[in-house]
Amino acid sequence: MNRNQKITCAGIACAVLLLIWPAQGGAAYDYINISNPFLKKIPIAIPAFKAFSDSSAEKNAATSAADILSQTLEYTGYFRIIDRAAFLSDPRRPPLDVPDIVFRNWTGIGAEMLITGGIALGNHAAEMELRLFDTVNAKLIVGKRYKGSDKDQRRMLQRFAGDVIFALTGDQGVFNSKIAFVSNGSGNKEIYVCDFDGHNPRQVTHTKNITLSPAWSSDGKWMAYTDFSSGNSDLYIMHLEEKRGAIVSEKGLNISPGWIPSQFALAATLSFEGDPEIYMLTGSGKIIKRLTKSWGIDVSPSWSPDGKKMTFVSNRSGSPQIYIMDLYTERTERLTFEGSYNTSPKWSPKGDRIAYTGLKNGQFNVYVITIDGQSLVQLTRDSGDNEAPSWSPDGNLIVFSSMREGTSRIYVMTAYGTDQRRLLTLPGEQTTPSWSPRMMND
């Protein structure tokens, strides 16, 4: 399965061709307002793709591919997908390129952007030609052709979506990332991984015991987690594909891993010295040094993107609050002062904010606070308990768990709290989602 995926991925990577080329550089970034991209969504039209032959399979694929691309782009929270019923152009003759496109017809229905596509299906093969236009300026922004197995259509569309987002924001987006979480659907808490949009969930651990706190290494190849199978809470550090790794099994707690960006090293809470403290470990499980030195609980380390600062939870003040430690000066400052139960901090990939879970009026909700503590925003409210936020690698989305349907499930929202929706539906309860970094070889 894994091997197959690798081979097909490589296939796509080789087959990507740049088409006609105008604007690929940094000039296009002002399409999306970086300070709050979700305030005003970009209205975009994505008509059904053009089938290059008359085969019914190809015609069906032409429509379903346009639908998948619509869903994928809508998932980012940047776009408002315009209903095809509003289109002025003839649905039987989908436009593909400039001479056929009447930009007035698209600006006329409010579309500021247009994506056209063509698809050809061969013997177990698929080829797609996709273009993004700025309708206001009548200009091609991205044009790409993809070739691969017919099973890779979703992947090709995700890749194009990534190119679209890169052209508009200068960032790769989330399309080559995954989400790990814990589910008890099998009767035990085990770790699962799915695609960024909830597709393709699969069980990763089979401990038939308690498995908790999945944490991705910054290259996405390793996962650290807590595993009770030995009868103690041990920390496993596992290479996801090669199924090898290390076990940290000190006396007492071995929990709460948080990888350091760009390093094969992580922080975790161990209690072998008599108190739950945060230690820095190598990726092979060797203790490098103790980071916290305060009586009481210290857990849930999360690192600034430059790896110089660590945010974590401590109850040194009498209740769990969020702190930031500077690794070099070893100075620690308290970040949260509102409420008496603030936990599970996650440093944003952009570096400026920290998302966390706070308890207020008997309910847990997701909050985001700037690292100077000056600006605090509550992202979830009035929808049961909402907990355990984790940032998407581009920092634009947050995945979290919520009890809003009575049972704990995984949800996604924009970093501003808008567009909250369920990620996936599985048997049992799903908790503690963890968004991966970008997968480099995917």
Partner 1 sequence: MQKKILIGLALLLVIPGLLFTVSCAKKTVQSEASVSEMPKTEAAVKSEAVKREAATATADAEAAARARAAELERQRKIEEERLKAQQLREAQLEEERLQAELAKKKTEADKNVFLKELVLFDFDSSVLTPTAQDILGRKAEWLKANPRASVIIEGHCDERGTIEYNLALGWRRAEAAKAFLVDLGISSARMTTISYGKERPFVKGSYEFAWSQNRRAHFVLE
Q: Which residues bind partner 1 (CB under 8 A)?
A: 189, 210, 212-213, 226, 228, 231-233, 252-253, 255-256, 269, 271, 274, 276, 297-300, 313, 315, 319-320, 340-341, 343-344, 357, 359, 364, 387-388, 431-432
User: Nearest approach, Cβ of 165 to partner 1 (angstroms)?
Assistant: 32
Q: How many CB atoms lie within 10 A of CB 416?
A: 16
Output 24 or 315, the one with its CB closest to partner 1: 315
Residues 166 and 173: their CA atoms lie apart, in Å, by 7
Output 48 or 255, the one with its CB closest to partner 1: 255
Indicate the residue type of 75.
Answer: Y
End-to-end CA distance of the chain: give it in Å, rounded. 14
Output 233 or 402, the one with its CB closest to partner 1: 233
Spatial CB neighbours of 357, under 8 Å, sequence gap ≥ 6: 342, 343, 344, 364, 365, 366, 367, 386, 387, 388, 389
Residues in the chain: 442
User: Nearest approach, Cβ of 294 to partner 1 (angstroms)?
Assistant: 13
User: Nearest approach, Cβ of 253 to partner 1 (angstroms)?
Assistant: 5
Output 246 or 299, the one with its CB closest to partner 1: 299
Output 79 or 236, the one with its CB closest to partner 1: 236
User: Nearest approach, Cβ of 187 to partner 1 (angstroms)?
Assistant: 13
Output 320 or 437, the one with its CB closest to partner 1: 320
User: Nearest approach, Cβ of 148 to partner 1 (angstroms)?
Assistant: 40
Output 401 or 414, the one with its CB closest to partner 1: 401
Output 177 or 343, the one with its CB closest to partner 1: 343
User: Nearest approach, Cβ of 190 to partner 1 (angstroms)?
Assistant: 13
Tokens matching residue 19: 């088409």
Output 48 or 379, the one with its CB closest to partner 1: 379
User: Nearest approach, Cβ of 212 to partner 1 (angstroms)?
Assistant: 6
Spatial CB neighbours of 83, under 8 Å, sequence gap ≥ 6: none
User: Nearest approach, Cβ of 396 to partner 1 (angstroms)?
Assistant: 24
User: Nearest approach, Cβ of 344 to partner 1 (angstroms)?
Assistant: 5
